[in-house]
Amino acid sequence: METIPIYLLTGFLGAGKTTTLNHLLTLDFFKKRELVVIINEFGTIGIDGPRVNRSETRHKLFEINRGSLFCTCTEKDFLKILLEMKEKIRPDAIIIEASGIAETGDINRLIIDSGLSDFFEIHCNICVVDATNFIKLLPMVKSVRSQVVFADSVVINKCDLIDEKELKVLKKVIQSINPKIPIDNTVKGNINSMLINSISHNIKEKAFIDKPPENIYSITIRNSIEIDRNTFANAILEIGKNLLRLKGNIKFSTGTKFVEVINGELVNEEQISEQKNTSFVAIGWKINKAKMKEIFDRMVWCNN
């Protein structure tokens, strides 16, 4: 019996993993297969799951929230999904999008220790790197380095936002962390199936971590009150670079927008056709969790 290949997408917050995943789902390589897609998010609510392309492929979607895939806190959830696939679903392949703050390890050991190595194998670990922010984040956040260390291939995304000189420096930095790793360049996660086929997994042993990443916290804000745009902008400005990521729906007076903030900067805002309430996850670094929540709560209630 052939084992089911697992394709793992890693990369820090805002690198473009979900965009890359959506592109993968358009490739004939995956379109012709029965897939399972697993989205792993650090926050308590799923933001990326609803944004995964459901029209191109036949796939089932699972979500693992409230922690990293490489942490013991989500181990039972992950194994439960694998057992369900082994006993009921039997997909042709599995794609996993890992949490952006994950201190990557190798889930191969978990599969072996759980007696599932006859059914599943890691085909490859592709790390998506943000061309604009990787070097800035590298000395700040431990997981940025570990994601490259444990990857089988690196895809530098958003290459259109840097020049050739900056790209050359970035590649040298990545190679200093993982000297033999193949590196590909892309825009908007547009990688091809040839890259997928050319990668093989190199097993690197590392124990799963047993606690959340250091100095990184997430909060969830859900409310039906309309948010003033200036008040929202002031909240982002107040937290500044300590706001690693904000992602979700914001109910403004002009309608609900899907909003993304990376490193304190608004990078994406999309109008949503249906009117939804505010529901977003914010991930902060080196800021008191209660303080961050107080800033966003103030943003909500000053409009009431």
Handedness of CA 209, 111, 45, 256 (dihedral sign): positive
Region 72-77 average pLDDT: 73
| Superfamily name and number for 4-198 | P-loop containing nucleotide triphosphate hydrolases (3.40.50.300)
Task: Spell out the residues 6+ positions from residue 235 whose beta carbon is closer than 8 angstroms to its own.
Answer: 295, 296, 298, 299
Region 275-294 average pLDDT: 90
- Domain 216-301 of CATH type 3.30.1220.10: yes
pLDDT tens for 136-185 read: 999 988 889 999 999 999 999 999 999 999 999 999 999 999 999 999 99
pLDDT at 52: 77
pLDDT at 73: 63
Q: Where in the chain is the domain with CATH 3.30.1220.10?
A: 216-301
Give the residue, 243 or 28, on which the prediction is more confident.
243
Q: How confident is the model at residue 102 (pLDDT cuts 50, 70, 90)?
A: confident
Alpha carbon separation from 295 to 102, 240, 283, 302 (Å, rounded)? 26, 12, 13, 11
pLDDT at 276: 81
Handedness of CA 83, 88, 90, 91 (dihedral sign): negative
Closest alpha carbon to 266 in 223, 304, 236: 236
pLDDT at 282: 94
Region 269-274 average pLDDT: 80
CA distance 248 to 220: 10
CA distance 83 to 237: 45
The DSSP result for the chain, as a single string, is -PPEEEEEEE--TTS-HHHHHHHHTTSHHHHTSEEEEEEE-SSSS-SSGGGS--SSSEEEEEEE-SS-TTBGGGHHHHHHHHHHIIIII--SEEEEE--TT-----THHHHHHTT-TTTEEEEEEEEEEETTTHHHHTTT-HHHHHHHHT-SEEEEE-GGGS-HHHHHHHHHHHHHHSTT--EEE-STT---HHHHHH--------PPBSSPPTTEEEEEEEE-SPBPHHHHHHHHHHHGGGEEEEEEEEEETTEEEEEEEETTEEEEEEE-SS---EEEEEEEESS-HHHHHHHHHHHHHTT-
pLDDT at 77: 84
pLDDT tens for 113-127 read: 889 999 999 999 999
Q: Where in the chain is the domain with CATH 3.40.50.300?
A: 4-198
Q: How confident is the model at residue 112 (pLDDT cuts 50, 70, 90)?
A: confident
- Global pTM? 0.88
